[in-house]
Amino acid sequence: MVIEMLRRAGLRSAYLHGMSLGSVALCLGLWIRAKTVDESERGNAERRALFVGLWPPTIWLIGDSLRRRE
């Protein structure tokens, strides 16, 4: 049902796979940036990077589901 709605909205599997790879790059960027902030903000910055790091597998699997429908 959700996959069908995404497909009707014009979303393609290649877009989601690209977004998944982009979120990996975002996670790495946030992780590197976390190493440059001072100690009082470092914990929050690292948690933000880890949170974004949870996105790629989910986005990739949604893209795979869309690919099967295409």
- Of the chain, the percentage scoring pLDDT greater than 70 comes to 100
**Biggest CA pair distance of the chain:** 48
Amino acid occupying residue 45: A
Cβ neighbours of 2 (radius 10 Å): 8
Structural domain that includes position 8: 2-69
Say if residues 49 and 27 touch (Cβ distance below 8 Å).
yes
Residue 33, CA atoms < 13 Å, CB-side half-sphere: 13
Q: In the prediction, which pLDDT does 1 show?
A: 83
Residue 65 to residue 16: CA distance in whole angstroms: 10
* CA R_g for the chain: 15
Domain count, the chain: 1
Of 41 and 21, which is predicted with more confidence?
21
